[in-house]
Chain A
Amino acid sequence: NAGVTQTPKFRVLKTGQSMTLLCAQDMNHEYMYWYRQDPGMGLRLIHYSVGEGTTAKGEVPDGYNVSRLKKQNFLLGLESAAPSQTSVYFCASSYPRGGTGKNTGELFFGEGSRLTVL
């Protein structure tokens, strides 16, 4: 099992360019997430999905769009990149959070995608 795979791992964009980050998981998880990580700010949720065909906004959704056409894939799009979107992006997946018992809803993270916008 590969777990959670993100592509690309590195990308440099110019302001105004567009791009898509791809996340794939092979654990049959219902939930998938996109986080961004900036120094001193921890991980902030951009968008998430609780199932195929569904998406929802997280804490910092502006400037991003997502799609979940297949259960195993979650795409993050930047339509017009800005320098403020320079960050490390992490995709994660999980089973639905049960809160108690065996299902902790722990997140399984990909290795990250480092994006620089000039």
Chain B
Amino acid sequence: SAVISQKPSRDICQRGTSLTIQCQVDSQVTMMFWYRQQPGQSLTLIATANQGSEATYESGFVIDKFPISRPNLTFSTLTVSNMSPEDSSIYLCSVKMGNEQFFGPGTRLTVL
């Protein structure tokens, strides 16, 4: 299994600012995933981050808004840029190992 930690666990931000979320995994993994869970909703995949290459974004998500870094096999960051209240969500980091997909504890973001 994988143990995933995220920082910060929660934050309250002003509109127009940016927040960088960190994700640390206790094992080396090829692919890391970032999801968004809006209030009362399901999980939506934002992007897949492979080490050494640019992230692959899903429809509706763009690099300028959600830049991602993946400097090594155990770490990734997601930045939420130029935030608006619509960005208020839980952001979850996730990895796949074997036949299972594991999730971090999430970062609860509130934008005022």
Q: Is B a genuine binding partner of A?
A: no
